[in-house]
Amino acid sequence: MITVALFDLDGVLTETAVLHRKAWKKAFDAFLAERAGGADAPGFVEFTEQDYLDHVDGRPREDGVRAFLASRGITDVDAKTVTAIGEKKNDMFLESLAEDGGQAYPGSVRYLEAARDAGLRIAVVTSSKNGGPVLEAADLSKFVEVRVDGIDIAERGLNGKPAPDSYLLGAELMGVPPAQAAVFEDAISGVQAGAAGEFGYVVGVDRVGGNQAEAMRAAGADVVVNDLDELLPA
């Protein structure tokens, strides 16, 4: 029986996945343009939404940088450059969060209320080091008993999603075995983490369309929805 819900944050509870993606695009395009000798240079190939979904979405910051660069065959960058790209993106993300305010999906708020009222215990497991500020900005902290975020992942030296470690820590801190917890994810890497951890149920939340739902099922999602309120009784 499921007694605990482990929610990813950006893209599942809040609309901030879009802010992350846009900030990543600016940071990577600046890096790629400089490397190619300008945005007009023939060697410049921009960072796309599919690049984000395939290599960056759901992963801890620097894992995302390395995975994307590797996908372009860029393996000669040092650790300082990886950190610098991530920090540049973070500055832009924080700027847009301050402007946008970090909106919660209304359907997710309804689902959180229903889950809480049904006695389901709630935790958030996010790769983002900004998990705390995003929850606060969206006024969702009141629902959350335990939070595992990118700071915990770094401090504890855990493997990021698609490894199951952060979700396993979430279940452990909630005091339940993985089989007693459901995972809610919008990123393929996160669905893979839920499947690898053998959680009781893995819900894929498809916010992008295209072949994302199919990719989520292939990655191990038990069900795929477009919004959490599809899971509520009509």
Ligand X SMILES: O=P(O)(O)OC[C@H]1O[C@@H](O)[C@H](O)[C@@H](O)[C@@H]1O
User: Can you give the binding site for ligand X, defined by CB under 6 A?
Assistant: 10, 17, 20, 56-58, 60-61, 64, 90, 93, 126-130, 150, 187
Asked if 44 contacts 50 with a C-beta cutoff of 8 angstroms, the reply is no
Tell whether the torsion through CA atoms of 116, 120, 122 and 127 is positive or negative.
Answer: negative
State both tokens at 207: 């916010």
Which residue's CB is nearer to ligand X, number 40 or number 99?
99
Distance CA 223, CA 204 (A): 6
For ligand X, the closer CB: 56 or 225: 56
- Identify the active-site residue in 8, 149, 186, 206: 8
51 is catalytic: no
Rounded to the nearest whole angstrom, what is the least distance from the CB of residue 172 to ligand X in the complex?
20
Minimum CB–partner distance for residue 18 and ligand X (Å): 10
CB 1 to ligand X: min, Å = 28
Q: Whose Cβ is closer to ligand X: residue 58's or residue 200's?
A: 58
Token digits for 152? 């915990």
Q: How far is the CB of 175 from ligand X (least distance, A)?
A: 24
Q: Backbone phi, then psi, for 192, in 5-degree steps?
A: -60, -40
Whether 139 is catalytic: no
For residue 4, with 0-12 CB atoms within 10 Å meaning exposed, 13-18 middle and 19 or more buried, which class applies? buried
Which residue out of 10, 152, 165, 186 is catalytically annotated?
10
Sheet holding 146-148, edge to edge: 146-148, 121-125, 4-7, 181-185, 201-205, 223-225
The pair of structure tokens assigned to 45 is: 């190939």
- Compare residues 24 and 143 and give the one whose CB is closer to ligand X: 24
Q: In terms of CB distance, is 36 or 151 closer to ligand X?
A: 151
Closest distance of CB 117 from ligand X, Å: 27
Give 84's contacts (C-beta < 8 A, 6+ positions apart).
Answer: none
Contact 12, 111 (CB under 8 A): no
* Residues annotated catalytic, as ranges: 8, 10
